[in-house]
Amino acid sequence: AARGRGTVRPRGREGAEAAEGGDFGSIERHSLWLSTWLRGFVCSFEREGDILGCRSIRRSIRGKMETYVLKNSKGVEVHIRPLGALVQRLILPSAKGEPSDVVLGFDRLESYADGTSPYFGVVVGRVANRIEGGKFKIGGEEFQVSVNENGNTLHGGQVGFDKATWGVVSHEEGRSVTLSHLSEDGDQGFPGQVTVTVRYTLTEPSDSDDGMLVVAMSAITTKATPISLAQHGYFNLTGHASGSDVLNHKLHLNAREYTPVDGKLIPTGELAPTEGTPFHFPAQGVRVGERIAEVPGGFDHNFVLDKSVRREYDRVATSTPLHLAAVLEEETSGRKVELSTSAPGVQFYSGNFLDGSLTKAQGTKEDATYKVHGGLCLETQGFPNAVNQSNFPTNVLQPGERYSHYMVYKFDTTTRTA
């Protein structure tokens, strides 16, 4: 069976990769870890001066602790942390006006940084999803990047963007926050110095919705390099701590094709039709549980979005056109989320690897226990392993170009649409 995304202790997995020869520079990495730990230890006693750069370390610690809360007049709240450009909480009203946090996550920040978290709510990169063998060629030069799942690279490798403390560029109280991260040339083996920026903006409600969360991601590079960022939230519209799974959630995916995968969840290169298969989620929506038994291991697949189904919003300005990705609805609470994007694909992951091992002992929010299918992900993205598949849309960014990726979550309740 495919494993990895929900193996919630990846340190052991990374150790296995190293034993297999998939890791590189382990001595240098452990020396760097020890050096960093010693600096942090010294700085815990040294309060005023700048021995060993203690001021920057203290700024980093304070940065991780900050929470930026976006709110609108309908009661929608988005809580954002600089660690991993994380959406730690997303509070939505139900049809009865009752607020609930609808994304899985932790109160304890260490669980995001130490490998416990299966990417709850973070921005992943340099390359979201998988690169086969951690290998690719650009301009005839072959690159080997760090591997961290079944001999492949998942979500940027062993230390991806989700483990970084992003800098806060700007913050408009209650409305928006912009974060940035500098990934050096050679980071995890990837070429080029890359500057990435993510801006979260929450709009006020309108007559037709409870507001929209706009996620605008961009990147520039000094060398040709693959780039594909994704916001990796896990949704449960009954509430993350409800104890309910997502199998009763109704889902529409705006896709006529999907990319089949092999036993290690690497796309085969085929673009297969969804109609007549368990991967068909038409406009009227289908309960996740109706189809999941027909897909061994559950859903963890990229869907090819139909760009002809355009979306335009008078409160949202984007530099590239938007198209519909998905509509997710939960009837008991009446909550509904419509997701639009500028990306070519969306990864639908049905929380297959959640197994009840993430509990209050790991610092989950509200002491929740996250069981199998306790949340689902809708990650708009470039296609997995696109850097090695010539028939997939390229994800290679050239110097002088700008990568741009928009996600727009429109929040609603079924009382409005009934």
pLDDT (tens digit, 9 = 90+) per residue, 180-200?
999 999 999 999 999 999 999
Residue 396 contacts residue 143 (beta carbons within 8 Å): no
Q: Which of 67-71, 238-242, 313-317 has the lowest mean pLDDT?
A: 313-317
Question: And the tokens for 190?
Answer: 């990837």
C-alpha–C-alpha distance, residues 262 and 265, integer Å: 5
Residue 232 is a catalytic residue: yes
CB neighbour list of residue 130: distance below 8 Å, 6 or more residues apart: 149, 152, 153, 154, 264, 265, 266, 384, 385
65 pLDDT higher than 80: no
pLDDT at 416: 56
As a three-state string, the secondary structure of the chain is CCCCCCCCCHHHHHHHHHHCCCCCCHHHHHHHHHHHHHHHHHHHHCCCCCHHHHHHHHHHHHHHHCCEEEECCCCCEEEEECECCEEEEEEEECCCCCEEECECCECCCHHHHCCCCCCCCCEECCECCEEHHHEEEECCEEEECCCCECCEEECCCCCCHHHCECEEEEEECECEEEEEEEECCCHHHCCCCEEEEEEEEECCCECCECEEEEEEEEEEECCCEECECEECCEECCCCCCCCCCCCCCEEEECEEEEECECCCCCECCCCEECCCCCCCCCCCCEEHHHHHHHCCCCCEEEEEECCCCEECCCCCCCCCCEEEEEEEEECCCCEEEEEEECCCEEEEECCCCCCCCECHHHCEHHHCCECCCCCEEEEEECCCCHHHCCCCCCCEECCCCCEEEEEEEEEEEHHHHC
Burial 345-383 (b: 16+ CB within 10 A, else e): bbbbbbbbbbeebbeeebbbbeebbbbebbbbbbbbbbb
Is the per-residue pLDDT at 13 higher than 50?
A: no
Return the pLDDT at 14.
Answer: 35
| Strand pairing report for 322-330 and 250-253 | antiparallel
pLDDT of amino acid 54: 57
- Whether 83 has a pLDDT exceeding 60, the answer reads yes
For residue 19, what pLDDT is reported?
33
pLDDT, average across residues 28-48: 49
Q: What is the pLDDT of residue 345?
A: 98
Of 17, 301, 379, 405, the catalytic one is 379
Establish whether 405 is a catalytic residue. Answer: no
The backbone torsions φ and ψ at residue 170, rounded to the nearest 5 degrees and listed phi first, read: -155, 160
Taking residues 296-310, report their average pLDDT. 97
Q: pLDDT value at position 418?
A: 45
Residue 393 predicted with pLDDT over 80: yes
Confidence category of residue 55, pLDDT binned at 50, 70, 90: low
Cis peptide before 126 (omega within 30 of 0): yes
Predicted confidence at residue 64, as pLDDT, reads: 60
> Could you give the CA distance from residue 328 to residue 408 in angstroms, rounded to a whole number?
13
N-term to C-term CA, the chain: 42
- The catalytically annotated residue of 232, 240, 249, 252 is 232
40 has a pLDDT exceeding 60: no
Residue 15 predicted with pLDDT over 70: no
Query: What average pLDDT score do residues 285-312 get?
Result: 96
State mean pLDDT over 1-29. 37
Mean pLDDT of 210-225: 98
Position 414 scores a pLDDT of 80
Q: Is the pLDDT of residue 32 over 50?
A: no
How much is the average pLDDT of 72-89?
98
Q: pLDDT class for 49, splitting at 50, 70, 90? A: low
Centre a 10 Å sphere on the Cβ of residue 243 and count the other Cβ atoms it contains: 13
Model confidence at 275: pLDDT above 70: yes
How confident is residue 20, by pLDDT bands cut at 50, 70 and 90? very low
